[in-house]
Structure 1
Amino acid sequence: MKSAQMRLKILLPYTTFMDKSNVLRIVAETNQGAFGILPNRLDCSAALTAGIFCYQCLNGEEVFIAVDQGVLVKTGFDVLVSVRRAIGHADLSELHALVKKEFLLIDEYEKHVHAMMMKLETGFLHQLSNFKNQ
């Protein structure tokens, strides 16, 4: 008897990173921790955080991919993952270092830029309000 299998598709903003059938299980990371997906799991969706994404193929091979923030949607036997960035073809320790170095540091930089933009906007609105009152 043939076991149920999933089709996994990982999308980046500009291309399809991977399209794989015959996937037996998936492990993904969210803010609440890691969770697994098997073929007969109920349909679901989850917001992913930067981390290591893992899936196992029919031949038993486990594949690890470093992914940035994104979303995972499972409908039936199809699993669609959409992330900002993904890096594969490296061993697990290299991927973990890449997540820390590239994804998390870039997120901190983006938070800093966002805070600076908020200060500029607040200053601009304050000056505009002073100009209007004069």
Structure 2
Amino acid sequence: MILPPKHMHLEVFVPTARLVNAAAAKVVAEGPEGHFGLLPRHLDIAAALVPGLLVYVTAAGEERFLGIDEGVLVKCGINVHVSVLAAFESDDLTSLRAEIADRFVDLDDHERKARTALARLETGAIRHMLEFER
């Protein structure tokens, strides 16, 4: 008889590095439909993640908190792989929530400015093409 594992192998990746490589007894994340939890014996899953919190319980029973940007989570057997655009770790849940809000507000402003600049470039290119055809 094979006993089920007591822990999962959690890895969290950002584009430039592996941020977390740990044994986890539990993982809680948030997808578009809401929060969900993973335990070692749960079925395999692939899920999109939205910006927010990712919480995991280490093999020693400590709760760890990550602020994450959007990404994807894949659980296959005891392996849980999370790939996100950006992430940061904190021990203080209150400051982590504030930092998530600050970082994503800044990102939204940056994205808005970038989209505006891109729209101006596209408009200018179309205008020049129309003038060239005349």
Same topology, TM > 0.5: yes
Cα distance change on mapping 1:115 and 1:45 into 2, 3 Å? farther
Q: Give a deviation string over 1:13-69, Cα, whole Å, max 9, x none.
A: 111111002x11111112221111111222111111111110112322111111111
Q: Which residue of 1 aligns with 2:74?
A: 73
Q: Which residue of 2 aligns with 1:13?
A: 15
Cα distance change on mapping 1:112 and 1:34 into 2, 3 Å? farther
Identity %: 35
Check whether the contact 1:50–1:104 (CA below 8 A) recurs between aligned residues: no
Quote how far apart the aligned CAs of 1:86 are.
1.2
- Consecutive aligned runs of 4 or more in structure 1 exceeding 6 Å deviation: none
Alpha-carbon distance between aligned partners in 1 of 2:126 and 2:102, rounded to the nearest angstrom: 36
Aligned pair count?
132
Q: Which runs of 5 or more structure 2 residues have no equivalent in the other structure?
A: none
Structure 2 counterparts to residues 1-134 of structure 1, below 5 A: 4-21=6-23, 23-132=24-133, 134=134
Alpha-carbon distance between aligned partners in 1 of 2:117 and 2:89, rounded to the nearest angstrom: 33
Alpha-carbon distance between aligned partners in 1 of 2:15 and 2:34, rounded to the nearest angstrom: 25
Alpha-carbon distance between aligned partners in 1 of 2:77 and 2:83, rounded to the nearest angstrom: 17
- TM-score normalized by structure 2? 0.87
Quote how far apart the aligned CAs of 1:89 are.
3.0
- TM-score normalized by structure 1? 0.87
Coordinate RMSD, CA, aligned: 1.8
